[in-house]
Amino acid sequence: MTRDTVPGVRCAVCGYVAALVRPRCPACRGRVEPAEFGPAGTVWSATVVHVSLPGRKAPYALAYVDLDAGPRVLAQPAGNTPLRVGQRVRIVNVTAEDEIRVQRVRPAGGADSRGGDRPLPPAESAPDSEHAGT
Ligand SMILES: [Zn+2]
């Protein structure tokens, strides 16, 4: 099963958002509520890594993506196509193993954004999309 949002928490006290499910706010230790972030975001930083790691053969592209009204997440472009800073992207095909550290993204908009991947299931409804952190 895949989806196009990233699970995490939003602090009910200070508004901090995190892409990890934690029992307390990492910033203020306040009460947190479950949240879903994405699917849209903006590339904050991008690079191509030229050093292979176990299970990851170089070269491969990585980026940090600021999810809209959500946290910054580490992401790997679908198709291993390098991204550029400021580019709009979408989270795609989140799987259980991806939820740990690395999200998959692809450029947002345009005909190719609907390309070869399987259709995504409907996003689970986020109970509250307002961003208390700004
Ligand atoms: Zn907090």
| pLDDT, average across residues 114-122 | 37
Domain count of the fold of the chain:
1
- The alpha carbon of 29 and the centre of ligand 1 are apart by a number of angstroms equal to 6
Q: Are 79 and 106 in contact (CB under 8 A)?
A: yes
**Inside any domain, residue 64:** yes
pLDDT of 21 reads 87
Cβ atoms within 10 Å, residue 51: 8
**Inside any domain, residue 122:** no
**Inside any domain, residue 90:** yes
CATH code for position 84:
2.40.50.140
Backbone CA torsion sign across 16, 6, 112, 110:
negative
Q: What angle do CA 97, 68, 123 make, to 5 degrees?
A: 55
- The alpha carbon of 129 and the centre of ligand 1 are apart by a number of angstroms equal to 17
User: Among 66, 16, 67, 59, which residue's Cα sits nearest to residue 45?
Assistant: 66
The tens digit of pLDDT for each residue in 54-65 reads 888 889 899 999
The tens digit of pLDDT for each residue in 45-54 reads 999 999 998 8
pLDDT of 134 reads 42
Q: Which structural domain range is residue 89 located in?
A: 6-109
The answer, yes or no, to whether residue 84 has pLDDT greater than 90, is yes
The tens digit of pLDDT for each residue in 6-39 reads 889 999 999 999 988 889 999 999 999 999 998 8
**Inside any domain, residue 95:** yes
- The alpha carbon of 30 and the centre of ligand 1 are apart by a number of angstroms equal to 5
**Inside any domain, residue 62:** yes
- The alpha carbon of 25 and the centre of ligand 1 are apart by a number of angstroms equal to 5
**Inside any domain, residue 134:** no
**Inside any domain, residue 117:** no
- The alpha carbon of 27 and the centre of ligand 1 are apart by a number of angstroms equal to 5
Instruction: Please give the residue that has the higher pLDDT: either 60 or 132.
Output: 60
- The alpha carbon of 34 and the centre of ligand 1 are apart by a number of angstroms equal to 13
Q: Name 32's Cβ contacts closer than 8 Å, sequence gap at least 6.
A: 9, 10, 11, 12, 18, 22, 23, 24, 25
The answer, yes or no, to whether residue 110 has pLDDT greater than 70, is no
Query: Which tokens in the block code for residue 101?
Result: 């550290």
- The alpha carbon of 56 and the centre of ligand 1 are apart by a number of angstroms equal to 35
The Cα–Cα gap between 110 and 53 comes to 33
**Inside any domain, residue 132:** no
Q: Give the Å distances, CA to CA, from 60 to 9, 14, 123.
A: 29, 36, 28
